[in-house]
Structure 1
Amino acid sequence: MKTLILTRHAKSDWGNLTMRDHERTLNVQGHASAIAIGKWLNTNGYHPQQAISSDATRCIETWNLLNEELPEIKKFSFHQRLYLASSVTLYEAIKQAREDIVLMVGHNPGISELASELPSQIPDHPKFLQYPTTATTILTFDIPDWSTPFMGQGTITDFIVPSDLTD
């Protein structure tokens, strides 16, 4: 059994219009949301063993804030090819994973498309198709390893957005 945690990066700051998109940082709301989702993951026993992320600043910051709330994750990597990547590119990156529980931090539209393509059925949650910042999907797969094709075979066990934690 394999578990995949798909998280869209937290809300970023658009205040500096001269900053390159790749370098945008999280805003105050983004910091709070990433911490809240990290605590939720920990409380619910979702403890990734490996993390894979875009190398964009907002993804790295999201990962760092999530990681502060989780047991130590020794295997993590940041990849330029995952910056604004398609769902196909994200899927190919996951197929290289070696651990049973993997967390991926990425961007829309790729991360939301992947979250919709991987399960056999999507949840009824009203924000699932929007996949707002820091949205997180937990999927399980009955496969021996990540190199086994798993598209369309996942079961969504949880989906959460930061506003669910404050409502």
Structure 2
Amino acid sequence: MVSRLFLLRHAKAAWASPGMRDFDRPLDASGLVDAEATGIAMRAQGYVPELTLCSNAVRARQTLEGIASNADTGRVLFFDDLYREDATGYLSIIRKSGNVGSLLVIGHNPMLEDLAMALAPSGEHCAQTALHAGFPTSGLAVLRFEGRLSDATPGTGYLEAVLTPPSL
């Protein structure tokens, strides 16, 4: 069995207003456009997750809305832990949800970048080379695994693609 993991950093968020929690920051105008463009790009590439795991942060939920208006996102589950966990925590959440052939995770940096680097660390198509300038907002990393995502471990992924604005 071959599985795919889509790691998506939320789109560009607005600066926090005085007194606003970071968790509650919405997308800015360019972020809204980029989220929709990501959905269009996912549909064009045939990237269809069976399950989407989304951070409960406002900017992540709005990113999901932009994608879902242009592409299939499968069943969706929301997790507060995708806002506060580190890359190891992200992998744990993925492994617990990994009885699907394709999974989209909408989350935050540095966790997504750290996770991509850990899962696809070497070889011609490694995350370190593809993400040398960092994991941009609205960036989508597509990783392939031999076997189930519930069995994914560091070093077992192959980075198939990285889509970033404005190349979406």
TM-score (norm 2): 0.90
Deviation at 1:100, TM superposition (A): 0.7
1:137 has 2:137 as partner: no
1:148 has 2:151 as partner: yes
Distance 1:96 1:18 in 2: 36
Which residue number in structure 2 is paired with residue 163 of structure 1?
A: 166
Q: CA RMSD in A?
A: 1.5
Which residue number in structure 1 is paired with residue 35 of structure 2?
A: 34
Deviation at 1:115, TM superposition (A): 1.1
**Which amino acid in structure 2 is aligned with residue 82 of structure 1?**
L
Which residue number in structure 2 is paired with residue 3 of structure 1?
A: 4
Which residue number in structure 2 is paired with residue 81 of structure 1?
A: 81
Q: Which has a greater percent of helix?
A: 2
**Which amino acid in structure 2 is aligned with residue 157 of structure 1?**
E
- Count matched residues: 162
Distance 2:77 2:136 in 1: 23
Which residue number in structure 1 is paired with residue 46 of structure 2?
A: 45
1:56·1:80 contact (CA, 8 Å) conserved in 2?
A: yes
Deviation at 1:85, TM superposition (A): 2.1
Deviation at 1:95, TM superposition (A): 0.2
Moved over 4 A (4+): none
Distance 2:105 2:36 in 1: 16
Deviation at 1:150, TM superposition (A): 2.7
Deviation at 1:15, TM superposition (A): 5.2
| Residue 156 to residue 16, structure 1, CA distance change in 2 (3 Å) | same
2:121·2:155 contact (CA, 8 Å) conserved in 1?
A: yes
Distance 1:47 1:69 in 2: 11
1:4 aligned counterpart, secondary structure: strand
Identity of aligned residues (%): 27
Which residue number in structure 2 is paired with residue 23 of structure 1?
A: 24
Distance 2:91 2:33 in 1: 28
| Residue 80 to residue 93, structure 1, CA distance change in 2 (3 Å) | same
2:145·2:152 contact (CA, 8 Å) conserved in 1?
A: no
Distance 1:96 1:8 in 2: 20
- Give unmatched runs, 5+ long, in structure 1: none
